[in-house]
């Protein structure tokens, strides 16, 4: 058996899209509770763009190879794998890194059996986005039926998952924002959001307050950061929770930001990430995904929306598509 494999690397360790290339690297060896998986497909995430540029804090246990979600076939195990898996099993899963490659080693505690009803490409687009949405909505946002939710960047993969979760679990209303009319329409007509607002042409805060009779929304999931900070404080309801997951709009607040709402509305504003969490934390979220969402993928109630599938040899074009904010759903690369 070969001791090398092909993988996407970044020339110089960090760099622009043009630095991405496929080359031979050492093939990983599973140990302890790990499985060696031959990768069929992997999903792209915005963290990959940041990591490529050297702007993402990579966990110490992560491979230097990009990619955290994948689907494939188990080829070998370490010495302490979960008994429910065997060689030849078709799986998908979440890793700390290493998915842009022919093989990946990952804890069996972060694997899920691939349903026959879903394709390799669909399964590769589930783990990071749906687990992140689950964490944000339930663990941090403390969602319960009857609450209202606003998902920023509504056509992003995490919000696509989150909007579906919110609706399925009986939110009183589900709102979204986006920067294009077509994406706002997508959130309403395809995903079923109550309403979606264009942040470049509309006063989204005023629209939210009008839609909620001045109350505001109970939970806001935010990926923008500085650009929506004041608006979030204005649009959140009393005793509301704002979940901060990213800073696509910057991290430096402008002068004049009014934080009075924190006390006046008793707001909780909490930041979080998934990749920096330990395996036990991620494993509990995997279990919740399997119990709560997987049956709905199988029967079609939940949609895994894949915007485009590309051969991994076109990894540069795949990164360009994600960087240009052209997509409504996942960008997936296939191997072989």
Instruction: Find the CATH number of the domain harbouring 150.
Output: 3.40.50.720
Sole residue written with tokens 């540029």: 53
281 and 192 belong to one structural domain: no
Query: How confident is the model over 225-253, as a mean pLDDT?
Result: 95
- Its domain, for residue 282, covers 4-126+275-334
Confidence bin at 220 (pLDDT 50/70/90): very high
Q: Is 149's pLDDT higher than 80?
A: yes
169 and 244 belong to one structural domain: yes
195 and 265 belong to one structural domain: yes
Instruction: Quote the number of domains for the chain.
Output: 2
- Single pTM value for the model: 0.92
3-state helix/strand/coil string of the chain: CCCEEEEEEECCCCCCHHHEEEEEEECCCCCCCEEEEEEEEEECCHHHHHHHCCCCCCCCCCCCCCCCEEEEEEEEECCCCCCCCCCCCEEEEECCCCCCECEEEEEHHHEEECCCCCCHHHHHCCHHHHHHHHHHHHHHCCCCCCCEEEECCCCCHHHHHHHHHHHHCCCCEEEEEECCHHHHHHHHHCCCCCEEEECCCCCHHHHHHHHCCCCCEEEEEECCCHHHHHHHHHHEEEEEEEEECCCCCCCCCCCCCCCCHHHHCCCEEEECCCCCCCHHHHHHHHHHHHHHHHHHHHCCCCCCCEEEEEEHHHHHHHHHHHHCCCCCCEEEEECC
Q: Is 125's pLDDT higher than 80?
A: yes
121 and 232 belong to one structural domain: no
96 and 148 belong to one structural domain: no
Q: Is 80's pLDDT higher than 80?
A: no
Sole residue written with tokens 């022919």: 102
Burial of 316 (0-12, 13-18, 19+ CB in 10 A): middle
Domain stops at, among 244, 271, 298: 271
76 and 199 belong to one structural domain: no
30 and 145 belong to one structural domain: no
Query: How confident is the model over 146-167, as a mean pLDDT?
Result: 97
119 and 15 belong to one structural domain: yes
Query: How confident is the model over 74-88, as a mean pLDDT?
Result: 89
155 and 51 belong to one structural domain: no
Question: Whole-number mean pLDDT of the chain?
Answer: 95
Domain stops at, among 240, 271, 302: 271
Domain stops at, among 229, 253, 271: 271
Q: Is 134's pLDDT higher than 90?
A: yes
- What pLDDT is recorded for position 90? 98
191 and 115 belong to one structural domain: no
Query: How confident is the model over 178-204, as a mean pLDDT?
Result: 97
295 and 261 belong to one structural domain: no
243 and 318 belong to one structural domain: no
Question: What backbone torsions phi and psi does residue 211 show, to the nearest 5 degrees?
Answer: -65, -30
Q: How many CB atoms neighbour CB 254 within 10 A? A: 10
Provide the pairing of β-strand 69-77 with 34-43. Answer: antiparallel
255: left (phi over 0), alpha (psi -120 to 50) or beta: beta
- What pLDDT is recorded for position 192? 97
Integer Cα distance of 104 and 84 in angstroms? 19
């Amino acid at each position: 058996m070969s001791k090398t494999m092909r993988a996407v690397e970044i020339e110089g360790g960090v760099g622009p899209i043009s630095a991405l290339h496929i080359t031979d690297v050492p093939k990983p060896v599973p140990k302890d509770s790990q499985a060696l998986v031959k990768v069929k497909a992997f999903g792209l995430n915005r963290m990959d763009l940041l990591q490529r540029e050297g702007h993402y804090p990579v966990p110490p246990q992560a491979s230097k190879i990009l990619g955290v979600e994948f689907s494939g076939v188990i080829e070998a195990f370490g010495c302490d794998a979960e008994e429910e898996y065997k060689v030849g099993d078709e799986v998908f899963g979440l890793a700390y890194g290493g998915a842009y490659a022919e093989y990946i080693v990952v804890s069996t505690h972060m694997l899920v059996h691939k349903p026959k009803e879903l394709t390799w490409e669909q399964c590769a687009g589930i783990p990071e986005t749906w687990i992140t949405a689950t964490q944000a909505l339930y663990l941090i946002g403390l969602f319960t039926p009857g609450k209202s939710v606003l998902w920023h960047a509504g056509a992003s993969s995490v919000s696509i998952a989150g909007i579906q979760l919110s609706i399925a679990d009986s939110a009183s209303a589900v709102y979204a924002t986006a920067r294009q009319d077509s994406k706002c329409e997508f959130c309403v007509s395809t995903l079923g959001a109550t309403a979606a607002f264009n942040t470049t042409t509309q006063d989204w805060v005023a629209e939210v307050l009008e839609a909620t009779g001045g109350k505001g929304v109970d939970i806001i999931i935010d990926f923008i950061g500085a650009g929506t900070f004041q608006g979030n404080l204005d649009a959140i309801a009393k005793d509301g929770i704002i979940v901060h997951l990213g800073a696509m709009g910057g991290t430096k607040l402008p002068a004049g930001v009014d934080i009075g709402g924190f006390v006046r509305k008793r707001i909780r504003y909490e930041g979080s990430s998934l990749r920096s969490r330990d395996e036990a934390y991620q494993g509990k979220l995997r279990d919740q995904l399997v119990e709560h969402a997987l049956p709905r993928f199988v029967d079609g109630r939940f949609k895994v929306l894949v915007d485009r599938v590309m051969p991994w040899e076109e990894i540069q074009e795949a990164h360009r598509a994600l960087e240009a904010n052209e997509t409504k759903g996942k960008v997936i690369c296939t191997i072989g």
